[in-house]
Amino acid sequence: MCPKSWQWPVLSCGLVPLTREEVPVLNRHLLVLAASALLPILVACRDDVESPTEPTLATPHAAVAAAAPLSFLQVTGGGLHSCGVATDNRAYCWGENHYGQLGDGTFSDARDRVRPGAVVGGLEFVQLSLTGAHTCGVTTDRRLYCWGMNFYGQLGDGSSQHQSSPVAVAGNRQFRSVEVGQHYTCALSYPDNQAYCWGENSSGQLGDGTRTARSVPVAVRGGRAFRSLSAGYTHTCAVTMTYKTFCWGTNSNGQLGDGTLSNRNQPGLVAGGQLFKQVSAGEFHTCAVTTTAQAFCWGEGNRGQIGDGTNEQRLKPKAVAGGLTFDRLSAGFRHTCGETSGNQLYCWGSNRYGQLGDGTTVFRRTPVAVAGGLPFKQVGAGTYHTCGKTSGDVAYCWGRNDVGQVGDGTTTQRLRATPVAAPQ
């Protein structure tokens, strides 16, 4: 059978799959073939087979209603793909799909999506997290599922087999939230808010006191209850119920914020004494928001991602310049974005692909407003692109778009916030 998302003409069933460029040409030829005895054979390749009827040659797709754009509860950028949770709690993904990270049941690069496609399985989600080449999500019944690359056991199902559709994380625990790192995953359990991690552990990013990779969840050392958690490239940070922040894993650029460059395989307290309500771990830097809505960052700053007006490395939290008040920050590969208390979106750091959304490719050492003045309620910074959703639940993405990760139906780089297209 052909994959369900393929539309006729489908001559590639059992033969050579068509390229995107070949489909329009084939459509024109089918107008001639439509009235012939070949049409029932062509239509019969589809999953949604119906008794063939004579098409109207002037408007061969007239019976197919145009899909409406989705409304989103959450949207975020990953490595070369993006995902979001729609307001009906269904998950959608778009962009690269080499390891099945889109969750559509396939692995082929030819299945890269330039607009949202539904994650298979019919699960209902409340939150998704993604980076690199895997995706995880918490369902409405607080179960955790993952899909995509699984070389290091980062899907948590006890195997190292890649998955193109959601698989349940082992252990039968309930979870409140999940955070995906480069080749590992961490999550907070429900109702006790304990941290668990699994996957690659070469830098101690799982926080279990070892550097042993795990294919099923293991408890982070210390038994602390956390209110929020974030997984970066190879380091992890979390905020306790008393607003203290702990980090562990790689510390080559000071991203653990403890004033040293020493790696940690279990949680260590961030220096400075600030009380943080939310933390976000990026590639080699970390950012957080205090209980008084002030932004601080630390770690690598060579692209201005610290936001303090310099390109300096910081081993302890350093205040972001500009005096803005933030509700939440999202640290990407080498850039950072955040929603202010007034629902405005600001970004800073690397901007090679336009991931700051200010209409340029100029790096910024201090926060710059995302062009357009849209009222953003949530943002998720990826590797070289960024996605966010407005107060009206409309999803936008911008930045690198070579495999469709912006989701606007093209592969054109976008320097400004661009609406995510209707699903395909």
Q: Which domain holds residue 58?
A: 1-64
What kind and span of H or E run contains 92? Answer: strand 91-95
Tens of pLDDT, residues 27-62: 433 333 333 333 332 233 333 333 333 333 333 333
Q: What is the pTM of this model?
A: 0.84
Based on the domain organization, do 392 and 349 belong to the same domain?
A: yes
Based on the domain organization, do 37 and 98 belong to the same domain?
A: no
Alpha carbon distance 287, 318 (integer Å): 9
DSSP 267: E
Q: What is the mean pLDDT of residues 144-173?
A: 98
What does the pLDDT read at residue 59? 37
pLDDT above 60 (res 24) = no
Q: What is the mean pLDDT of residues 327-356?
A: 97
Domain boundary among 40, 64, 88: 64
Based on the domain organization, do 130 and 14 belong to the same domain?
A: no
The domain tally of the chain equals 2
What does the pLDDT read at residue 18? 42
> Residue 382: which CATH number?
2.130.10.30
Based on the domain organization, do 103 and 31 belong to the same domain?
A: no
DSSP 5: T
For residue 187, how many C-alpha atoms fall within 13 Å in the half-sphere facing its CB?
35
The verdict on residue 257 lying in a domain is yes
The verdict on residue 248 lying in a domain is yes
Domain boundary among 9, 42, 64: 64
Based on the domain organization, do 41 and 85 belong to the same domain?
A: no
Based on the domain organization, do 19 and 128 belong to the same domain?
A: no
Domain boundary among 12, 43, 64: 64
Based on the domain organization, do 124 and 273 belong to the same domain?
A: yes
Alpha carbon distance 155, 135 (integer Å): 8
Based on the domain organization, do 34 and 112 belong to the same domain?
A: no
Residue type, 210: T
pLDDT above 60 (res 64) = no
The verdict on residue 424 lying in a domain is no
What does the pLDDT read at residue 37? 36
The verdict on residue 409 lying in a domain is yes
Phi and psi at residue 28, to the nearest 5°: -65, -40
What does the pLDDT read at residue 341? 92
Based on the domain organization, do 87 and 57 belong to the same domain?
A: no
Phi and psi at residue 31, to the nearest 5°: -60, -30
Contact call for residues 135 and 78 (beta carbons, < 8 A) = yes
Q: What is the mean pLDDT of residues 78-83?
A: 96
What does the pLDDT read at residue 49? 32
What does the pLDDT read at residue 110? 61
Confidence band for 108, pLDDT divided at 50, 70 and 90: confident
Confidence band for 418, pLDDT divided at 50, 70 and 90: very high
Mean pLDDT of the residues in the chain: 87
Q: What is the mean pLDDT of residues 187-198?
A: 98
What does the pLDDT read at residue 247? 98
What does the pLDDT read at residue 68? 87
H-type helices in 34-75, by residue range?
A: 39-43
Based on the domain organization, do 362 and 240 belong to the same domain?
A: yes
Tens of pLDDT, residues 299-333: 999 999 999 999 999 999 999 999 999 999 999 99
Confidence band for 112, pLDDT divided at 50, 70 and 90: confident
Alpha carbon distance 91, 72 (integer Å): 9
The verdict on residue 172 lying in a domain is yes
The verdict on residue 20 lying in a domain is yes
Confidence band for 424, pLDDT divided at 50, 70 and 90: confident
What does the pLDDT read at residue 10? 30
Residue type, 126: V
Based on the domain organization, do 267 and 399 belong to the same domain?
A: yes
What does the pLDDT read at residue 357? 98
Based on the domain organization, do 202 and 268 belong to the same domain?
A: yes
Share of the chain above pLDDT 70, in %: 84
In this predicted structure, which of 22-31, 203-212, 351-360 has the lowest mean pLDDT? 22-31
The verdict on residue 1 lying in a domain is yes
Any idea how long the chain is?
424
Handedness of CA 246, 252, 258, 262 (dihedral sign): positive
The verdict on residue 357 lying in a domain is yes
Tens of pLDDT, residues 262-283: 999 999 999 999 999 999 999 9
